[in-house]
Amino acid sequence: MKMMKALFIIAAIAGACLSFQAPPLKKATVYLFLQSQCPCIYNHKETFGSLIKTYQSKVSFTAVFTGRKETDKDMQQLISDLGWRLPYKKDKDHTLLRQLKPRVSTDCVLVDAKGKVLYVGAIDDGPLNMGAVKNFYLKDALEAYVNDRPVRVSSAKGIGCTLSD
């Protein structure tokens, strides 16, 4: 009887171990670097808003404000004016700025679930072409990522207000 009870306990423990599921990995994240006083983001209002809607189930989006004098009210107001629903944070010590190396306000950084930077730069090239987008850099990077393909263009120069440390 003791042997049977011991086997039952061992089987129960083994079954519990087999059914244990590791927590899912966090999603990839797109960090959009902004400064509330830089109007350049309005060039990408529709495009970036569309990317949020299309990819938010597979990728997280976070706005990162880098201006040292940014207030919470400034940040909330800009996100509200753009009509986007996304979290934002203030990079007051410029940790993300130094780590991810965006150059201008409106630059994006796509980081995979393991922390590897896959893309840094412009959302698209619309501002260089008087609004006509020829290259959808961030969209292409997101498509590659969600379809488990390599990102072909890993960086693209953006136009915006200079970010400095």
- Which stretch of DSSP H or E encloses residue 77? helix 72-82
Query: To 5 degrees, how large is the angle CA 142–CA 148–CA 149?
Result: 80
**pTM of the prediction?**
0.82
State percent of the chain over pLDDT 70.
Answer: 84
Does pLDDT of 88 surpass 90?
A: yes
Q: How far apart are CA 139 and CA 142, in angstroms?
A: 5
Q: Which domains does the chain have, with CATH numbers?
A: 26-156 (3.40.30.10)
Buried b / exposed e across 12-22, counting CB within 10 Å, b at 16+?
eeeeeeeeeee
pLDDT value at residue 80? 94
pLDDT tens digits along 91-118: 989 999 999 999 999 999 999 999 999 9
pLDDT value at residue 123? 97
Does pLDDT of 164 surpass 80?
A: no
Structure tokens at 32: 């959009």
Q: How many helices (H) and strands (E) does the chain have?
A: 5, 6
